[in-house]
Amino acid sequence: MSKLEELIQKYCPDGVEHKTILDVLVQSITDGPHETPSLQGSGVPFISVEAIHDGIVDLSKCRGFITKEYDLICAKKYKPQIGDVFMVKSASIGKVAMVTTNDDFNIWSPLAAMRCDTKTMLPRFLFYILQTDRIQKEVVKKASKSSQPNLSMRVLEQFEIPVPPLPVQEEIVRVLDTFTELQAELQAELQAERQKRLQQYNYYRDNLLTNFTPDKQVREYTLGELGTFTRGNGLQKKDFTETGVGCIHYGQIYTRFGAFTDKTLTYVDENLASHLLQVNKGNLVIACTSENVEDICKCVAWLGDETICTGGHACVFRHKQNPKYISYFFQTEYFFNQKVKYTYGTKVKDIKPDSIAKIKIPLPSLEEQERIVSILDNLYTLTNDLSAGLPAEIEKRRQQYEFYRDKLLTFKRKEA
């Protein structure tokens, strides 16, 4: 018999009393001000839904700051303290977090704040209870049915939850805390392994593409000597259709694609496609605009047999080299150090196709390009297999945790 089973047998063998959330709080559920204050660059952090992250209130994600004067006005209604539990009651509805530090901050109205009566309910126990599948389904069911679902405070405070004796709560919290810590450690280990693989891949890629011995007789060319660059125009996300001519939007290049692809994610109708920049097999589609210098000039080699199209903020590089080889070269540090010289802009970064044409590339024979690409393809597959496996493994552990959490927090109801 486990320690938890022993505690249940000792303290609540006939079942567990169920109470409303309001019954276990020292005060009624409350929220922040409903009128958005004028936010500024410094002062008291003002927390919105976006700052509720991974079960904690993340001050680094605050939406802005309020003055000390306004903070005093907010404090008359509610002032957060360690142990308070929050639930988001609109937008990312049902998301739960707990205050674990004594940092000074204030909250926005979509957050429902709960302060436990610790003689009856441990804050950490309530934190876990609110995340159970039963409560989350009830949140969705009881929320107002509108374009922006909202759960009222009066409805939330009447949710019924099991309230076992404190020793039972303490043991359940201990078990779940241990489980979440192990899960976090596993995720950190997997991410570290992924980073290690990426570093190895980057090292070998850069070495193969830029460090040639004299006997290889590799000449350096500008990209403009190898082909032509043409900038696109038009094509907005609203132009996407279910079927039609395949298209690559510039934003997809650094968010959805790798070094090469033979399938598009989106389409446009034939009439619009005829007015957009054409992309043929072997061409590179290059992002010319981004919010940061890292994403500028990210590219994808088009390997599909059909002609597709692209639009503004992208350019197409037409050439007669191995397309994968050129695309892999665009990922190297050697390429990066050259492109930054031609990148301009402050909030939005841009680069002109004529500038990309000036970038130099060491270019071996087509046979040697093919040999190097074969090696990089294998390394690329190994690295991306691990990257794909990471989310699957983490998701599997998350599902295991949720199963045991819900099982631990389900009790036989004590008859009155």
Q: Residue 230 is part of a domain; what is its CATH number?
A: 3.90.220.20
Structure tokens at 269: 């109708």
The least confident of 69-78, 129-138, 234-243 is: 69-78
Instruction: Report residue 387's pLDDT band, with 50, 70 and 90 as the boundaries.
Output: low
Residue 48 lies in a domain: yes
- Asked if the structure places residue 3 within a domain, the reply is no
Give the closest residue to 139 by CA, choosing from 116, 121, 159, 125.
159
| Same domain as 275, residue 407 | no
Asked whether residue 141 carries a pLDDT value surpassing 70, the answer given is yes
Query: Both 151 and 173 in a single domain?
Result: no
112 and 187 in a single domain? The answer is: no
Helices 133-142 and 366-408, interaxial angle, to 10°?
90
Q: Are residues 203 and 260 in the same domain?
A: no
Q: Based on the fold, state whether residues 179 and 146 are members of the same structural domain.
A: no
Bridge-partner residues for 228, per DSSP?
318
Answer whether residue 109 shows pLDDT above 60: yes
d(CA 224, CA 317): 9
What's residue 275's pLDDT?
Answer: 94
What whole-number distance in Å separates Cα of residue 259 and Cα of residue 198? Answer: 14
Cβ-proximal residues to 414 (8 Å cutoff; 6+ apart), any chain: 12, 14, 15, 16, 17, 18
Residues 374 and 359 in one domain: no
Strands 260-261 and 299-302: what pairing? parallel
pLDDT tens digits, one per residue of 394-415: 778 788 889 989 999 999 898 7
Q: Rounded CA gap, 57 and 50, in Å?
A: 9
Residue 376 has pLDDT above 70, yes or no: yes
Tally of CA atoms within 13 A in the half-sphere of 280 that contains its CB: 4
For the whole model, what pTM was predicted? 0.66
pLDDT at 161: 96
Count, residues in the chain = 416
- In percent, how much of the chain has pLDDT > 70? 97
Cβ pair 411, 4 in contact under 8 A: no
Count up the domains in the chain and report the number: 3
Q: Which residues lie below 8 Å from residue 178, measured CB to CB, with a gap of 6+?
A: none
Token digits of residue 242: 């279910």
Tell me the per-residue pLDDT of 237-272, one tens digit each, with 9 for 90 and over.
899 998 999 999 999 998 899 899 999 999 999 999
- Same domain as 338, residue 248: yes
Residue 416, in any domain of the structure? no
pLDDT at 1 > cutoff 60 = no
Per-chain mean pLDDT for the chain: 90
Give a yes or no: residue 150 inside a domain: yes
Residue 65 is predicted with a pLDDT of: 85
Residue 6 in any domain: the answer is: no
> Does 201 share its domain with 223?
no
- Find the domain containing 75 and state its range: 16-163
For residue 386, what pLDDT band results from cuts at 50, 70 and 90? Answer: low
Instruction: Note whether residue 90 is domain-resident.
Output: yes
**What's the pLDDT at 330?**
97
Q: Are residues 158 and 21 in the same domain?
A: yes
Strand-strand pairing, 349-350 and 289-290 = antiparallel
Rounded to an integer, the average pLDDT of 304-310 is 97
Cα gap 268→243, rounded to integer Å: 7
**pLDDT at residue 247 in the model:** 96
User: Taking the alpha carbons of 301, 307, 313, 318 in that order, is the dihedral positive or negative?
Assistant: positive
User: Could you tell me if 347 and 396 lie in one domain?
Assistant: no
What is d(CA 355, CA 359) in angstroms, rounded to the nearest whole number? Answer: 7
Asked if 280 and 346 sit in the same domain, the reply is yes
Rounded-to-10 torsion of CA 178, 182, 184, 187: -170
Whether residue 51 lies inside any domain: the answer is yes
Query: If 0-12 CB within 10 Å is exposed, 13-18 middle and 19+ buried, where does residue 415 land?
Result: exposed
State which amino acid sits at residue 256.
R
Asked if residue 175 and residue 90 are part of one domain, the reply reads: no
